Amino acid sequence: MYDLNSVTKTYVRRGHTVTALDDTNLEIPDNDFVAIIGPSGSGKTTLLSVLGGMLAPTSGNVFIDGESLYDLSIEERTALRSTKIGFVFQSFNLIPWLTACENVQIPLMLSGQSAERQRSRALEMLDRVGLADRTDHHPSELSQGQQQRVALARTLANDPQVILADEPTGNLDSETREQVMTYLNEFHRDGRTIIMVTHDAGTAAFAKRTIRLVSGVAKSIVSPEAA
Amino acid sequence: MKLQSMIWKELWQRPTPMLTSLLAVTLGVTALVAIQNITVFSERKIAGDMESLGANVLVLPPSVTLQDYYSADMHGHTMPEEFVTRLALARMPGVENLAPKLCVEASVDTIPVTLTGILPRSEFQEKAAWQGLSMLTNAVGSDRGCCATKADVGVDDDPNSLATTRTIQELGERDLILGRDVAAQLGSGVGDTLTLFDEEFEVITVLPETGTIDDGRIFAHLHSVQDLSSAGPVVNVIEIMACCEDAAGGLITNLSAELPDTRIITIAQVVETQVAVNGLMSRLSWGFFSILLLVGGASIASVMYANVTERRKEIGTLMALGASRNFVTRMFLGKATLLGLAGGLGGFVVGSIVAAVLGPQLLGVEVQPMPMLLGVGMATATVVAVAASFLPARRAAGLDPCLVFNDA
């Protein structure tokens, strides 16, 4: 799936060079479930951005299914994101003025699906996450857990091969967190690759393996108990 | 769901700033449509009035400033009636007919009216006969080089000819001709007797509506008006029906030579003055339009920039989900297009209503909507709105999608 070769990403902040990823090598096979943990500023979000095709590394190569991600044009990477990659965000990032159904329709619309196909697929996905009775609700009319489930349905809409999750349970209570992780596990069992950034050891425990990032380097790899 | 429906839904989520911008654009188009509309219909009316007028040269006392052709005889200045006789006897090429007028204020049953003294054609024929010129077909001037005008083809014994040709063949000393409006105001008709200056007059006809100031006037024999108002043998204006441009061109020089102590005004000058005023109005309307559209454009640009800042996370999310830069640009420019079209349409509707209301009140002009201005208004407003939104849209499209992540 992913193959990162000597990936380095540096930023210049107020005249100082900050290294977010430092000569990182990483291989993530198909249908892996990886938790990326590490302290704040260790480069977790940078890694996720690089994997999502949204942040070109300063040096090194990122391959996805054997294709060099950053040798693609911006438009090609956008199209690839639309079809191959799904995102789950900590604060859900639902569009507040669209209904649950319309939010799920967004990736389908962006990939050029017809309006009928968009709606039927969105309803199917919302049904899958147990929100068939909330399709016409706006995000503000839903609980935090329901909003994250709408976001999960949106992630699944285009049937992506890989799901990049940024602290997917960070804003949820323990009961809802369990529910969301159960869905992610389910998606993993469907054959998808899940790459999840988290601070929470309990959430990381759901993954098949954990990568610890320290100062931009994948220094230690531990093998937690798979959920 | 489509891009258009997304734009529409988003627009109604944040209506206040957008409506404020829309108002500025709408006002710009309103100003243009209203003023242009009134100007165009005013010009058409003037053209129509001139067409029906017949007279195309005015002889005025030298001190008169011509502000309005129709009220050129209401200035209070006079000149000797003898000038009329001189013009009649001069038999200048191009002069088809003369219409001297004297206007005085009078009242009928305490209702104030404007009484206008006019001289019938029969008076000129008498002068011509007395001067031994009756062998000529034209009693007033020479018809050499003349073409047919309303002034010379429509004159007959019908007193209603005054409405279209400015002349009348016969008019008794105690006859009255009423304009349409004043007849309605007085409730008088043909055969009625009205008292003016303690003398009784008989209404011989009510003129058809002309749409000019004549509708509000009472016409009587010039000499009766002179006697009863104690004005003496004077007139306020001599209208000259000159027959064609060639004759009228040389005529001005001849008239000035014959009557050096007068002011000779041609209709061309009157029209040019009016057209200049209309042109000024038209340019002003474009000025208002430009200023208000600039304000509207600046307002839209400001609102769009704020919108981009406000929606950073939303835009980043869309980009993370697969929205291209082109899609984001189209989202903002689509919104601007919608605002421009709505502003143009709104401005056209409001401007047309304003013109329809103010046209008759301010200028006495009936105004109809002009579809061409709809196209101009919508196109210009849309171009301004899109141009104003271009940089904010580019900024939105250039946002870093990484900002969607928690640490970003």
Instruction: Output the pLDDT for position B136.
Output: 38
Choice among A9-23, A43-57, B62-76, B195-209 with the minimum mean pLDDT: B62-76
H-assigned helices in chain A = 44-51, 74-84, 100-110, 115-128, 144-156, 174-189, 201-204
Same domain, residue pair B112 and B238: yes
Task: Give yes or no for residue B28 having a pLDDT over 90.
Answer: no
Q: Could you say which of B10, B313, B400 has the minimum Cβ distance to residue A93?
A: B313
Domain check: are B153 and B291 in the same one?
no
Select from B196, B226, B261 the last residue of a domain.
B261
Asked whether residue B198 falls in the same domain as residue B74, the answer is yes
Q: Residue B270 domain-assigned? A: no
**Residues in chain A closer than 8 A to B12 (CB atoms):** 97
Higher local confidence (pLDDT), B31 or B243: B31
Q: Looking at the complex, report in whole angstroms how far the Cα of residue B403 sits from the nearest Cα belonging to chain A.
A: 9
- Structural domain contains residue B143: yes
Give me the helix-helix angle, B312-320 and B325-358, nearest 10°.
Answer: 130
CB nearest A75 (choices: B1, B320, B324): B324
> What is the predicted ipTM?
0.88
Same domain (yes/no): B156, B235: yes
Domain that holds residue B326: 3-47+275-404
Q: Is residue B267 part of a domain?
A: no
Q: What is the pLDDT of residues B320-353, one digit of tens each?
A: 888 999 999 999 999 999 989 999 999 999 999 9
Same domain? For B348 and B372 the reply is yes
Mean pLDDT of B211-217: 81
**Tokens at B76, concatenated:** 């209070």
B41 and B73 together in one domain: no
Assess whether B233 and B280 both reside in one domain.
no
The domain total for chain B is 2
Question: Is residue B56 domain-resident?
Answer: no
CA distance B263 to B77: 12
Q: Which residue has the tokens 């005023």?
A: B277
Contacts of B183 (CB under 8 A, 6+ apart): B189, B203, B206
B269 in any annotated domain: no
A107 and B408 within 8 Å at the Cβ level: the answer is no
What does the DSSP assignment read for A122-183?
Answer: HHHHHHHTT-GGGTT--GGGS-HHHHHHHHHHHHHTT--SEEEEESTTTTS-HHHHHHHHHH
Average pLDDT, chain A: 88
Q: Please tell me whether residues B11 and B120 are part of one structural domain.
A: no
The answer, for B135 touching chain A at a CB cutoff of 8 Å, is no
* Residue A34 banded pLDDT, cuts 50, 70, 90: very high
Q: Using CB atoms, which residue from A91, A110, A167 is nearest to B322?
A: A110
pLDDT interval class at B239 (50, 70, 90) = confident
Q: How do residues B29-64 score in pLDDT, each as one tens digit?
A: 898 888 888 888 877 777 666 555 555 788 888 877
**pLDDT above 60 for B295:** yes
**Partner A, chain B 325-344, Cβ-Cβ below 8 Å:** 325, 327
What's phi and psi for B209, nearest 5 deg? -65, 135
Residue B266 resides in a domain? no
Asked whether residue B337 is assigned to any structural domain, the reply reads yes
Scanning B164-223 for CB atoms below 8 A from A yields none
- State whether A166 and B313 contact (CB < 8 Å): no
A73-91 in b/e form (b: 16+ CB < 10 A) is eeeebbbbbbebbbbbbbb
Which of B321, B325, B403 would you mutate first to test chain A, the one with the most A CBs within 10 A? B321
Examine the pLDDT at B135 and tell me if it is beyond 60: no
**Residues B257 and B279 both lie in one domain:** no
Tens of pLDDT along A78-135? 888 888 999 998 888 899 999 999 999 999 999 889 999 999 999 999 999 989 999 9
Residues B250 and B342 in one domain: no
What is the token pair recorded at B229?
């108002």
> Same structural domain for residues B246 and B282?
no
- For A107, the closest of B321, B327, B402 (CB atoms) is B321
Task: List the domains of chain A with CATH numbers.
Answer: 2-222 (3.40.50.300)
Query: Are B155 and B296 part of one and the same domain?
Result: no
- Cα–Cα distance for residue pair B213/B179, rounded to 1 Å: 9
Asked if the C-beta of B8 comes within 8 angstroms of chain A's C-beta atoms, the answer is no
- Kindly state the tokens that stand for A80: 């690839």
Set of chain A residues whose Cβ sits within 8 Å of the Cβ of B314: 93, 95
